Amino acid sequence: MAASSNTGGGRTAPSPEGRFARALRLNGPGYLFLLPWLIGFFGLTLGPTLASLYLSFTDYDLLTSPRWTGLENYEYAFFHDRRLGNAMSVTFTYVLWSVPLKLTVALLLAMVLDRSVRGVAFYRATFYLPSLLGASVAIAVLWRQLFGADGLINQILFMVSGFKGPAWITHPDYALSTLIVLAIWQFGSPMIIFLAGLRQIPQDLYEASSMDGASGWRQFWKITLPLLAPVIFFNLVLQTIEGFKAFTQAYIVSGGLGGPVDSTLFYSLYLYIEAFANFRMGYASALAWILLVIIAIFTAIAFGTSKYWVYYEDESR
Amino acid sequence: MSFKMNRRQFGGMMGSAAALSTLASVGAFAQGGAVRLIWWGNPERDKRTLAVVDAFAAAGNGEVIPETYAWGDYWQKLATMAAGGSLPDVLQMDYRYIFEWARRGQLEALDGYFGNEIDVSDYDPNQLQGGVVDGKTYGISLGANSMTHVYNKTVLDSIGYQLPDSTKWTTEDFVNIGKELKGQLPEGMAFTENMGSQEPRLQTWVRSRGKDLYSAEGELAFDVQDVIDYFEYWKMMQDEGLTQPADVQAQDSGKMEERMHVIGKSLVGFIHSNQLVGNQQLMKDEVELVMIPNAGDKPGQYMKPSMFFSMSANAADKAAAAKFISYFVSDPDANDILLIERGVTADASIRERITPGLTPTEQKIISYLNMVNTWVGALPPPPPANAGEIDRALRPAWEAVAFGQTSPKDGATAWYDDAARILKR
């Protein structure tokens, strides 16, 4: 091969083609095994993502080909779309309430379930169950029934207090709160992660501190919380992203309308309506990219502040 | 090249190549003479349509691959298919969308098939006209239809109340009847469903005043004052206790099984006449059709084609697709199965043939349309492209009024401005 002639006697560097062929021969089977993932990633994730970036600069109704409109979609979203402003405020309200409350409930239950009580595995599974079902359509439908005007919640309320409750799910003052309660109820997956985190905390820290006379409350603030901080941080980021993406519950519970009076019009539901009811694929793509940036900003804030409150055992300060 | 491959690698390559080629052929499986058919519907309509598909194949006409969705999902699915170039050959179309789809080049003009593959010789020309866009026929009407009020006859009979002649009653009469009946209705039942958020009801309101929702040029053809009056009327009905409170009414998300009159929370409701069959199936009490009271001296209602069958412009086998459309609309065997579930057929000979065998509920639709026929106005021009969005925006606008967040005047003005803005977008 020509390439080998210019190496003056030392080690033989393989030619570019040779190296490539060699690499392929060595790693070919590996890539073959990766192929399903590679096809999935490039074909089903990266491709559509890039396509949506392009579409966000166009006017596209699915029936006719996309027409380039430059920044028009973004300009409309930032300066003219009043419904988007409302969708933002609904989504922020939802995230700001549901995430901290859900994490609190998850942490409390994880601490309860961390003890070695008889049948604790059964309780753990039971408490996790709502999360398996929670995002499903069936539960959203059930929620609609439970919190309806003649639903179970109102029947119990009436029996207990004689007070005739409103249709919680279809009253603009309560509809969003009902969805927040539904979100909190799905505390299962952060709870499991908290449980794993609690197991990592060395027991001798608790033993030593109780010998020094620390109360349970003090142990919680001085040992549990600081050592759990990385796990809390992880759950916070994950749940915040989940919160911004919330869709199924609002879609099913409001019948796909985001009502009443747009009070449950989540960002992703509005995006969906623009795309698949109003057929503005271009504008919906722009909305999707704006949401991506919003989520990225919140995640960045979480990471930026983490050095002030997240303590990793292996780091020295 | 010094690229060598051992047997095992070669086998792996072959395997994945074979897998890839299978993937590539998935999109093409539907070809080969079979006609792909898609419609929106309900369980009853699906049952009848599938039976016709079977009958078509049993008569040796070829295979039809059916697909069905609910109304809401249907248009998303259809638009996605159109974007992907995989539109089924025969599509069910609605008057609201047929112009848009025809003008965007998605539909095949059917005039060339008339007298050849498609037999519409007995069809009412007025009904055929409903599927004409810019001089060409893009859809064949599957039946005539009109909007209607429906009331619980069992309840009203038990009270012993006689409604006046509904061809002449006004919106004021409607309020007075409601007030008379108040207190006599069963516990938990209000006089009427609140129709403040229903765009077709608003349309009959403005038409009875000699206007319409949209002009032929696709602009708003009514005034803001009409909407203010409309909102004030329904707010008054709610405040008088003639409808359910706003939060109860809001539980109706548009599905038939959630409608106030279906679940026994109102005496009167608003439907389209062909929905009576599905409506009656959900209720133990007997329901009856009456005309919609008018807010002016012009006819508010009109007869419209309930739905169409259209052909995709890219249909693989256009002759076969046309043959199936013809079988569906004019074959006696097919219509013995379909009856009038999609509306009263415009084919005179078929109508004569099937009418005697209809159920009492279906007979009601026929006699209702016969009554309405002399009291209706002309078919309005097709709605503009964004009319669906304006329709959907009416609901939150009305709800803001119903829940007392804004006055009827402000709510109506906001929606009117919104509608004008949506049309320009």
Find all residues with CB under 8 Å of B384, minimum gap 6, and list them: B214, B218, B219, B423
Residue A118: C-alpha distances to residues A122, A196, A289 (Å):
9, 19, 49
For residue B425, give the amino acid letter. R
Contact A63 B248 (CB under 8 A): no
Bridge-based pairing state of the strands B64-69 and B35-40? parallel
Option in A32, A170, A276 nearest B16 (CB): A32
Q: How far apart are CA B411 and CA B144, in angstroms?
A: 35
Which residues of A fall within a CB distance of 8 Å from B406?
none
Check CB contact of B254 with chain A, cutoff 8 Å. Answer: yes
Q: What are A152's two structure tokens?
A: 């179970």
HSE-CB of A295 using CA atoms within 13 angstroms = 20
Check CB contact of B392 with chain A, cutoff 8 Å. Answer: yes
Ranked by mean pLDDT, which of B49-58, B93-102, B120-129, B369-378 comes out on top?
Answer: B49-58
Choose, out of B16, B187, B247, B425, the residue to mutate when testing the contact with A (most A CBs < 10 Å). Answer: B247
Q: What are B291's two structure tokens?
A: 């005309």
Query: Closest Cα to residue A128, out of A179, A197, A193, A192?
Result: A192
Q: How far apart are CA B3 and CA A243, in angstroms?
A: 51
Which residues of A fall within a CB distance of 8 Å from B104?
63-64
Residue B171 in contact with residue B233, Cβ under 8 Å?
A: yes
- Provide the pLDDT for residue A18: 77
Check CB contact of A21 with chain B, cutoff 8 Å. Answer: yes
Query: Closest Cα to residue B64, out of B326, B384, B421, B411?
Result: B326
Which residues of A fall within a CB distance of 8 Å from B101?
63
Residue B26 in contact with residue B77, Cβ under 8 Å?
A: no
Please, which residues bridge with residue B270 across strands? B149
- Provide the pLDDT for residue B103: 86
pTM of the model: 0.83
- Provide the pLDDT for residue B29: 44
Residue written as tokens 């209607």? B148
Find all residues with CB under 8 Å of B211, minimum gap 6, and list them: B221, B222, B223, B226
Task: Please determine, for residue B360, whether its predicted confidence score (pLDDT) is greater than 70.
Answer: yes
Contact B82 A259 (CB under 8 A): no
- Of A12-21, B155-164, B230-239, which gets the smallest average pLDDT? A12-21
Check CB contact of A34 with chain B, cutoff 8 Å. Answer: no
Check CB contact of A166 with chain B, cutoff 8 Å. Answer: yes
Q: How far apart are CA A206 and CA A220, in angstroms?
A: 10
Q: Quick one: closest CA in A to B80, which residue?
A: A62
Q: How far apart are CA B170 and CA B297, in angstroms?
A: 9
Residue B178 in contact with residue B241, Cβ under 8 Å?
A: no
Check CB contact of B100 with chain A, cutoff 8 Å. Answer: yes
What integer is the mean pLDDT of A183-187?
A: 88
- Provide the pLDDT for residue A13: 55
What integer is the mean pLDDT of A104-132?
A: 83
| pLDDT tens column, B61-96 | 899 999 999 887 898 899 889 888 899 999 999 988
- Provide the pLDDT for residue A22: 85
- The SS3 call for residue B377 is strand
Q: What are A299's two structure tokens?
A: 């995640």
The DSSP 8-state label assigned to residue A99 in this structure reads: H
Which residues of B fall within a CB distance of 8 Å from A32?
12-13, 16
Residue written as tokens 């930026």? A304
Confidence of residue B199 (pLDDT cuts 50, 70, 90): very high
Residue B386 in contact with residue B425, Cβ under 8 Å?
A: yes
Residue that wins the pLDDT comparison between A255 and B267: B267
Q: Quick one: closest CA in A to B251, which residue?
A: A170
- Provide the pLDDT for residue B19: 43
| pLDDT tens column, A130-163 | 777 766 777 778 888 888 888 888 999 888 888 8
Compute the nearest-CA separation of B223 from chain A (Å): 23
Task: Please determine, for residue A117, whether its predicted confidence score (pLDDT) is greater than 90.
Answer: no
What integer is the mean pLDDT of B334-358?
A: 89
Residue B377 in contact with residue A233, Cβ under 8 Å?
A: no
Which residues 105-124 in chain B show a CB within 8 A of chain A?
Answer: 106
Q: Quick one: closest CA in B to A23, which residue?
A: B3
Task: Please determine, for residue A2, whether its predicted confidence score (pLDDT) is greater than 60.
Answer: no
Check CB contact of B78 with chain A, cutoff 8 Å. Answer: no
Contact B248 A28 (CB under 8 A): no
Q: How far apart are CA B361 and CA B378, in angstroms?
A: 27
ipTM of the prediction: 0.80
Task: Please determine, for residue B396, whether its predicted confidence score (pLDDT) is greater than 70.
Answer: yes
Contact A24 B3 (CB under 8 A): yes
Q: How far apart are CA A240 and CA A299, in angstroms?
A: 8
- Provide the pLDDT for residue B23: 41
Which residues of B fall within a CB distance of 8 Å from A17?
1-2
For residue A70, give the amino acid letter. G
Q: What are A164's two structure tokens?
A: 């005739």
Contact B101 A63 (CB under 8 A): yes
- Provide the pLDDT for residue A150: 85
Option in A21, A260, A276 nearest B3 (CB): A21
Q: How far apart are CA B225 and CA B407, in angstroms?
A: 13
Option in B8, B388, B395 nearest A257 (CB): B395
Task: Please determine, for residue B6, whether its predicted confidence score (pLDDT) is greater than 70.
Answer: no
Compute the mean pLDDT over every residue in chain B, rounded to the nearest whole number. Answer: 89
Q: What are B181's two structure tokens?
A: 């009946």
Contact A170 B388 (CB under 8 A): no
Residue A129: C-alpha distances to residues A123, A183, A185, A186 (Å):
10, 13, 10, 8
H/E element, B37: strand B35-40
Q: Quick one: closest CA in A to B23, which residue?
A: A39
- Provide the pLDDT for residue A3: 43
Compute the nearest-CA separation of A72 from chain B (Å): 11
For residue B45, the Cα-to-chain-centroid distance in whole angstroms is 13
Check CB contact of A18 with chain B, cutoff 8 Å. Answer: yes
Which residues of B fall within a CB distance of 8 Å from A63?
79, 82-83, 100-101, 104, 106
- Provide the pLDDT for residue A115: 78
Task: Please determine, for residue B3, whether its predicted confidence score (pLDDT) is greater than 70.
Answer: no
The DSSP 8-state label assigned to residue A170 in this structure reads: G
The DSSP 8-state label assigned to residue B312 in this structure reads: B
Cα-trace Rg, chain B = 25
Which residues of B fall within a CB distance of 8 Å from A18?
2
Check CB contact of A32 with chain B, cutoff 8 Å. Answer: yes
| pLDDT tens column, A75-113 | 999 998 989 999 999 999 999 999 999 999 999 999 888
Cis peptide before A66 (omega within 30 of 0): no
Compute the nearest-CA separation of B80 from chain A (Å): 7
Task: Please determine, for residue B28, whether its predicted confidence score (pLDDT) is greater than 80.
Answer: no
Compute the nearest-CA separation of B161 from chain A (Å): 29
Query: Closest Cα to residue B252, out of A142, A252, A170?
Result: A170
Compute the mean pLDDT over every residue in chain A, rounded to the nearest whole number. Answer: 86
Residue B400 in contact with residue A261, Cβ under 8 Å?
A: yes
- Provide the pLDDT for residue B30: 44
Check CB contact of B256 with chain A, cutoff 8 Å. Answer: no
Which residues 395-414 in chain B show a CB within 8 A of chain A?
Answer: 395-396, 399-400, 403, 405
- Of A168-177, A228-237, B24-33, which gets the smallest average pLDDT? B24-33
What integer is the mean pLDDT of A214-236?
A: 90
Find all residues with CB under 8 Å of B144, minimum gap 6, and list them: B124, B127, B303, B304, B305, B306, B343, B344, B346, B369
How big is the CA angle at B371 (ends B182 and B231), to the nearest 5 degrees?
45
Q: Which residues of A101-111 are buried (b: 16+ CB within 10 A; e: fewer)?
A: ebbebbbebbb
Q: How far apart are CA A276 and CA B80, in angstroms?
A: 9
| pLDDT tens column, B274-307 | 889 889 989 999 999 999 999 999 999 999 888 9
What integer is the mean pLDDT of B47-71?
A: 93
What is the percent of chain A with per-residue pLDDT over 90, rounded to a whole number? 43
For residue B86, give the amino acid letter. S
Chain A to chain B, count of Cβ pairs less than 8 Å apart?
95
What is the percent of chain B with per-residue pLDDT over 90, rounded to a whole number? 66
Q: What are phi and psi of B190, to 5 degrees?
A: -90, 170
Contact B1 A21 (CB under 8 A): yes
Choose, out of B6, B98, B198, B251, the residue to mutate when testing the contact with A (most A CBs < 10 Å). Answer: B251
Check CB contact of A17 with chain B, cutoff 8 Å. Answer: yes
Contact A25 B4 (CB under 8 A): yes
